[in-house]
Structure formats: structure tokens, C-alpha cells
Homo-oligomer: A and B are copies of this chain.
Amino acid sequence: MPNTMQRICFILHVKKDRLEEYKERHTKVWPEMLEALRETGWHNYSLFLRDNGMLIGYVETPDFRKALAGMAAKEVNDRWQREMKEFFEDPEGRPADRQMEPLPEVFHLD
């Protein structure tokens, strides 16, 4: 990845009784959703799931705020987030893409 990329890590929480279904859904993310992510600058994007429901996202992008805003403007993202919302724990009931707060990076080696 070029050095102009931001490296972003965020944490979400999947409901413990929905982990299998969440995993299953992520083996077949809609092609239009993948295309929208690509178009809005989501590169080398991975999700890792701990058995306690903690979900860790890692993504490289030129500008994470723009990548989020770009997705928020996509109709397919609305549909996806509506379907995914019930999988997540959030006291404020926000969809997943409104909960993605980047954690500080304290070390990097290229």
C-alpha cells in the first residue's frame, strides 16, 4: 500500500447468539456492496471475530471520513446496514457504519 494510506482499526460488538449467522452472511456479501466499498476507497479490508462477539475491523484508505461518507451516500449500503443492524450490540442502536471509531495506532513497521 502507498504511504498515503491511513491504516484504520475499529471495534464493534456482534450479539453472541448471532455469531454463526453473522459469519455466514459475510461469506456472501452482495457483489454490489463489495463494488461500493471498492469505489469509495476501502482497501485491504478485513473483519476478525472473537468468540465473545468482539469484531475487529482493519482497513486501508486514503481518508477514512471520506470512505465512510462515500458509503453513507450509497443506496446499497443503506440496505446492507438495515439488514446487519440487528446483529450488533449498541446501546445507542446505531447501524454498524456509525460506530466505526478509529483506534490510535501506536506502532507501525512497513
A104 and B26 CA atoms in complex are apart in Å by: 13
Chain copies in the assembly?
2
The interface stretch among A38-46, A63-71, A72-80 is: A38-46
Do residues A45 and B109 form an inter-chain contact, with CB atoms below 8 A? yes
Q: Is A100 an interface residue (CB 8 A)?
A: no
Interface size for A (C-beta < 8 A) is 33
Q: Please judge, given known A-B contacts A23-B106, A26-B107, A107-B26, whether A11 and B50 are in contact too, CB under 8 Å.
A: yes
Q: Is A105 an interface residue (CB 8 A)?
A: yes
Q: Which residues of A contact B (CB under 8 A)?
A: 1, 7, 9, 11, 22-23, 26-27, 29, 34, 37-38, 42-50, 54-56, 58, 103-110
